[in-house]
Amino acid sequence: MMAAACARTLSKVARLVLDTPTCRVTNAAALVPRFSMRCQGRAYGTGGAGFRSRALLAAPTRGSGRVLGCAFLLGGGFGLYQTVKLTLQRHHADEKSNAPELGTDLKLTLYQYKTCPFCSKVRAFLDYHGLPYEIVEVNPVMRQEIKWSTYRKVPILMVNGTLQLNDSSVIISVLKTYLVSREKTMSEILTCYPEMKAKNDRGKDVIEFGNKYWVMVRDADADHLYPGKDNRKEEIKWRKWADEWLVHLISPNVYRTPTEALASFDYIVREGKFGTFEGFFAKYFGAAAMWIISKRLKNKHHLQDDVRQDLYKAVNDWVSAIGKNKKFMGGDQPNLADLAVFGVLRVMEGLQAYEDMMEHTKVKNWYRRMEKATQRES
């Protein structure tokens, strides 16, 4: 509106000057009303001494009025251009400074076991999106840190100290929905993922969550988030694959032999939250127990005698699904499937299973790109 008013004023004054074919100019300022606009402390005058030139104040000749009009239009137009330009620059700068950064309005606290693949998935998501969060390491024996929660598994994510998010895939889907579309509050988004009671294959009551692999956004946002025809379907497919298949290959591989089981529990005790007695007990008795349990898990999930081969096949299937022409499953940037698979595989770092995976599969290049993408700024 301000620019339009300026243009109208300049047009009127220019017509006044141009319609005077011969005018005796003794004071150019008398013909031009003073008009100024301020932008960031600068003023652009269209009259007064600052606008006079020696040519305009010289002895009048025929057509001097038209010269004055042309000069006026050029000077005024330049002044208008600079004014509008600087005004828009200030407006955009104000908008940028006032716009909140993604996630800066969230205070996130993650209750976790560091070596849990599901907790690792959530950390990978938070790190990739640059969301600051605090970590509360939970003692896996007593779990006193989450005694206030009726939901007794990890990860648990507390949002702003009041809203509790359970289940790694629900946590990721809720946060992604919130970051993509700010139309609803976090609490409203959470209602899209209803908690349901079910029974597992052993007849034990378990809690499941509806829609947990879906990012609940409008069609317009979905088109931007998933530009390819099958992008959304593929993301959901591989997120489920990470939870329902890949994660079950971890324990049989890291506890494959007594030596590997002991090394794994040494890492778990070192990185986890254990008391002195708990740590000693977990390291030796836990390692022996998990070596035995890993054999049962191998039978339960119908794995080969050499469970490494199942791990290699799964990882290579993932790399093949990405394809040779893409950096990530999500294209040039990781999507939620990339983050889920990376989070699960990452818990093996430092163990023999991880070294073997890197040596005998094609995952290394993708994995290194994911490490870089999820690197937290110190």
| Angle, CA 20 vertex, CA 16 and CA 22 arms, to 5° | 155
State in Å, rounded, how far the first CA of the chain is from the last one: 46
Dist. CA 16–CA 258, nearest whole Å? 98
Q: Which of 44, 111, 116, 192 is catalytic?
A: 116
118 is catalytic: yes
Dist. CA 104–CA 171, nearest whole Å? 17
The answer to whether 35 touches 43, Cβ cutoff 8 Å, is: no
Alpha helices, H only, 323-351: 336-346
Q: Which of 44, 72, 111, 118 is catalytic?
A: 118
Residue whose tokens read 């038209």: 66
φ/ψ (deg, to 5) at 43: -115, 135
Full DSSP string of 244-313: HTGGGGHHHHHTSSHHHHHHHHHHHHHHS---HHHHHHIIIIIHHHHHHHHHHHHHHTT--SSHHHHHHH
119 is catalytic: yes
| Angle, CA 30 vertex, CA 28 and CA 31 arms, to 5° | 75
Full DSSP string of 196-208: EEEE-TTS-EEEE
Q: Which of 72, 111, 113, 226 is catalytic?
A: 113
What residues form DSSP beta bridges with 16? none
Q: Which of 119, 274, 342, 367 is catalytic?
A: 119
Here the tokens at position 138 are 């939970």
The answer to whether 122 touches 155, Cβ cutoff 8 Å, is: yes
Beta strands in 104-253 (DSSP E): 108-112, 133-137, 156-159, 163-166, 195-199, 205-209
342 is catalytic: no
Active-site residue numbers? 113, 116, 118-119
